[in-house]
Amino acid sequence: MRVECGTYGCNLPAAVLDLSDDMNNSALAAMDKIHMAGVDWTHAGITRREAFAFTEEALAQALDRAKAYLPEGTDCGCFIVSTCNRTEIWAHGDGGADLPAVLCALKGACVEQCRDLFTLRRGEAAIRHLFLTASGLTSQIVGENQILGQMKDALALSRRVKSGGPVLDRLFLAAISQAKRIRTETSIAKARASTAQAAVDCIKLRCGGLAGKKALVIGNGVIGRLCAQLLLREGLGVSMTLRRHKLVESPPVGCSTLNYDDRYSALCDFDVVISATSSPHWTLNLEGVAGVWDGRERLFVDLAVPRDMDPALRNLCGLSLLDLDSLSNAGLAGGVNVESEKIERIVGEEIDRFVRWLDFRPHLATILMMEEALAAGTPVSKLLFGLRDVLDGDALNACFAALGKSLERARGSGAGGDPPPAEGEAREGRKLEGPKGAAPRGATAPVGGGAGGALLSWFPFFLNVSGKLILVAGGGKIALRRVKNLLSFDCRIRLVAPKICPELELLGGLYGERLTFERRAFADGDCAGVDFATAASDSRAVNSRIGCECRERGIFVSVADAQEESTFFFPALIVKETIVAGVSSGGVDHKGASRAAEKIRTALA
């Protein structure tokens, strides 16, 4: 068993591998509560690795069982990551749980016979390992992009079974966000490295010319579909198996389909057979293949962990069987040429950002108390004068110096890039022209219509947002107002922005998985999968892109600096226990809406 408590031994320059000199004792202590144990391809072949692999259904059950082995507490948590390259169990807490023993118990394995397979990491080494893993930099195929989706799946599953806890949840989110940043700011994504690409490269090398050859792909998941698409581009005739009892996506255009139950009888029609499923059973066993085998040379490629194809198939004359480790050993999993300097900078910055959050986290409750005291009318001077009784002179001077710098930053650039008045959201009291036919300001609408009998455009629906995912683009004051309103409701918020203001950072620490950050510019496709969105960035062009993408996808969107591009408005919101009221003028009279909201607020007080 290998133990890594310091820096992670990868091929990146040493500068990215040790931040401990810049960290205080409290940060190091907080990091030390994060630990993991893993079995991966570097020290375990596929035969031993697959013994620790989980199907999706088994993984949910394992996470639920794992909680019984780990310390209890609001901060404690557990994640399991299971991919073709690795199975890792992650924990956060004060206890010293024997993670290899936990993982072995979950898989019914003898820990004493398996300890040599495990690598243990704690603190900084564990955090760095996760960041590099999320970027595909510790995979057999360096830079492969499937790991990012697998990390997202692990995060989603832990939330579903409520196993992760706030710290691990934030850690995995930070790792995913950092991986996206690396793929955006370096050329790693251009290589399109993947298990499927390595398999197709191998097929080309082993089979020579591919013209006229036929391939069967078993499995309609991500890897199977990608293999089919790549083989089609190489000119092969491709068939893909489908199961009758499962609702699956249609195969890629150009693929023919084959009933999964007919795979053995049709096997000899193909030159290449690829299997990439999550099945707990063999998709091709020796008995079934031997019963139809004609002895002609064929290449079988097994891309699954646990394996899909019976290793005994290698005993059949003319059948060549490759698995994931075979691709690596053949030098076909080289991946991409890593841009070390750029990755060094990004990994270092993002780890530092996470550690600062982790170190600051114990103070969030105090900040919340201060906000409540200020809201109740307690003078700032009274709070600050109290520091004289608990700090010595040097500490007091340092505290006020830091507060001064923080105030200067807050007064400076707007901390997060709030839109300038010319392009930002309409400010309070600012006169806007309404849409054509809108009522004049201050007009009273008769029953059955708006001012002068004109029909109104905006109907105040109350939608059930429980569990819905909401995209907020922007990290400034407008985004802050949107987020504060949304946090009163049972929804999830994904905020995308290159810069995030301190107030939002504070809310992120308080609300954990309900408010997640991706520190980067908005990218096309970010609206996929969200239920509605609000564009509140400081860029007119970006807000317009968001509005356009949402309208094309049929997603409700509020565009802060262009009401004509919005399909809904954020109202002035009043929440009193179970009563919720929203007031909007349709973008015509913000001041009037504000006055009306205040009257309702007073009436409900």
Where in the sequence numbering do the catalytic residues fall? 84
Residue with tokens 């059973």: 281
Query: Cα 600 to chain center, whole Å?
Result: 40
Could you tell me the CA-to-CA distances from 84 to 152, 194, 277 in Å, in that order? Answer: 15, 12, 11
| Nearest residue to 82 (alpha-carbon basis) of 40, 132, 114 | 40
Which three-class secondary structure state does DSSP give residue 228? helix
Sign of the Cα torsion 9, 11, 13, 17 reads negative
Residue 214 contacts residue 272 (beta carbons within 8 Å): yes
Q: What residues contact residue 246 under an 8 Å CB cut-off, 6+ apart?
A: none
Token couple for 256: 């023919």
Residue 259 contacts residue 240 (beta carbons within 8 Å): no
* Separation CA 301–CA 314 (nearest Å): 11
Token couple for 504: 């939002």
* Separation CA 537–CA 480 (nearest Å): 11
* Separation CA 495–CA 484 (nearest Å): 12
Helical spans, DSSP H, in 337-433: 340-360, 364-375, 380-385, 393-411
* Separation CA 577–CA 446 (nearest Å): 31
* Separation CA 248–CA 243 (nearest Å): 8
Partner residues linked to 274 by β-bridges: 217, 301
* Separation CA 352–CA 11 (nearest Å): 20
Backbone angles phi, psi at 36, to 5 degrees: -150, 160
DSSP string, 67-99: GGGS--STT-EEEEEE-SSEEEEEEESSS---H
Number of neighbouring beta carbons within 10 Å of residue 124: 25
Could you tell me the CA-to-CA distances from 169 to 67, 91, 224, 513 in Å, in that order? Answer: 15, 11, 30, 7
To which H or E segment does residue 442 belong? none
